[in-house]
Every structure is written in C-alpha cells, then in structure tokens.
Amino acid sequence: MMGRQRACLAEALYTGYGRLREGAVALDAVEAAICLLEASGLFNAGIGARLQLDGSRRMDASLMEGRGLGAGAVAGIKSVRHPISAARLVMERTEHVLLSGPPATRLALHFQLARQASPTPAQRKALQTDIRKIGPQASAAGTLRLFNTLARRRKAGLETVGAVALDRAGTVAAGASTGGVTLMLPGRVGDTPLIGCGCYADDEAGAVSMSGVGEGIIRLAMAKTIVDRMASGATPVAAGRWALGLLGSRIRGQAGALVLAPNGKFAIRHNTPYMIAGYWNGHGEPVVKDKYE
C-alpha cells in the first residue's frame, strides 16, 4: 500500500506543478493535487474516506489563498467525490467560509460536483464485524464506551491529504481533505475544515497544511500558529519544529505539517513515527518519502 501511495503522491506533484507551469494560480494547483489524492482511494479522503460509527462516510475539507485571504471549507459532507472542490465552491460562490452537513452536500450537488458511491454492503459488514468484536452496545453510554475502546486501538496515521503551493505571482495557497477518524462519533469535527487549524495561507508570511490528530491541532490552532511564527521571522523548518514541539510538550499531540514561505523555502515536519509526503520544484523527479528529519 505504501508503494502505491508514494506513486500517487508523485503523480499529484506532477499534476499540481503542471498547473503552475501552465500559469494557473496556486489555489488551482492545490485543488488539482488534492483532487487526485481524493480520487485514488489510497488515503482517508474522498472515495477512500473511512466509515464512521453509524456506517456513514462524512468528509471535511478546506482551502485558502494568501493574497486576499480567501477561504472556504466544508464539514460532514456526504456523497461527493471531491470535498476540496466543494470547499472552493463555498469560498467563491457564497459569502461564507464554512458550511456543514446536509446543506454543504446540497450546495455541492447543486453545482453538479461529481458524486461518489455510498458505502458498499461489504464495507458496512466489515464495520459491523469490528463493532461486534468489542461486544454488544445497546445505549448511548454504550456507544460512547465503544467509541473510546476503538479509539485506543487506532494507529496515529490518519492519512489526511493536503497541499501547499506558490505561484508565479507570489501567491501562496494551502488545502486539506479528510474522512476524519475511523469509527468516530457522528458529529465530530476535526481540524481539517477549520481555517487556522487544518490550513492557513497569507502572502505576507506563508502557507501551512496540517495532518494528524485533529483534537490537538485544534487546541493550538496549529496552521495559524506556524504561519504567525514565520511572520515573526522564523524559517519554515524552525517554525514547524517549534510548533510541533509545543504540541507534543503541552498536550502530547501528534501531527505533521507542510510549511511553505513566500520566498519558496519549505519544510515537511512531523512528530509522528512517519509521514508520507513529497515536494517538487519542477526539476528532476519529485521527492517522496515517508519520514522527514
């Protein structure tokens, strides 16, 4: 699986940079790269999004551009193949920043975004098998106990997808897309659709896209925290290292960050055991690794 993920990330880098080479804005490159990852089924986003505890597939996404601080996001969207494109609709076709639940789904379908199939019977059966392994749960309190038990068994790698880009005009952009946490409680919202948490972009400071355990990322508003650190003069490497150190020391949180400065300098940082990610400047071959020091 990891080999297929690496190949997919390389293709996403080719796709995103290809848009920049054609003269597209950074936001177009970010959306194109994330759309490819959402369509791959290899990550916890788009058609690969995990099922929640009630058997539904709900997804979150956000994106932001740094010139005018335009931003859009969706939370708990269903039936849509590309939540990142739904987030862009919110940004460009409404006066809002974040739409959630059924209204977000209706907006996406109104603008005829591509649909994705409902969870298959096999996927629902596998979900029920996982639940039965824990034991019968009959009440709301039992459901909460079940969720907490499953949560302790999950690994840290949540496979949220994201991208950052810098275009010829000097504008930065960032985006992120996720299916949330496997078997999470319906109604839970993580960091991905929250501007300043899952992503942030400002031409005066830089762009950041986050991945990891959302509850910790939210508590420190990680994307904005890293961008603010760069605004104070820190390099992408230093800003990412400092913020992830703070996350680990204050709340024992785990995350990874794509960090890009307006001058093109960048860093990929994480305090998880690994983070499969890559970068490309248009020369040679894209670099894709599963661990960054």
What DSSP line would sit under the chain, residue for residue?
-HHHHHHHHHHHHHHHHHHHHTT--HHHHHHHHHHHHHHHSSSSSGGGPPP-TTS---EEEEEEETTT--EEEEEEE-SBS-HHHHHHHHHHHSS-SEEEHHHHHHHHHHTTPPB-PPPPHHHHHHHHHHHHHH----SHHHHHHHHHHHHHHS-S----EEEEEE-TTS-EEEEEEE--STTPPTT---STTSBTTTEEEETTTEEEEEEE-HHHHHHTTHHHHHHHHHHTT--HHHHHHHHHHHHHHHH---EEEEEE-TTS-EEEEESSS---EEE--SSSS-EEES---
Residue 199's CATH number: 3.60.20.30
What does pTM read for this prediction?
A: 0.90
- Structural domain including 82 reads 2-119+153-289
Q: Tell me the C-alpha distance between 26 and 29, whole Å.
A: 5
* Residue 130 in domain: no
Q: Tell me the C-alpha distance between 198 and 105, whole Å.
A: 20
Residue 148: pLDDT over 70: no
171 is catalytic: no
pLDDT digits (tens, 9 = 90+) for 235-257: 999 999 999 999 999 999 999 99
* Residue 38 in domain: yes
pLDDT digits (tens, 9 = 90+) for 187-234: 889 999 999 999 999 999 999 999 999 999 999 999 999 999 999 999
Identified catalytic residue from 160, 171, 178, 182: 160
* Residue 138 in domain: no
* Residue 129 in domain: no
* Residue 137 in domain: no
Number of domains in the chain: 1
| Arithmetic mean of pLDDT over the chain | 89
85 pLDDT band (50/70/90 cuts)? very high
Residue 278: pLDDT over 70: yes
Residue 170: pLDDT over 60: yes
143 pLDDT band (50/70/90 cuts)? very low
* Residue 131 in domain: no
The angle subtended at Cα 72 by Cα 271 and Cα 79, nearest 5°, is 90
* Residue 157 in domain: yes
More confident residue, 274 or 70: 70
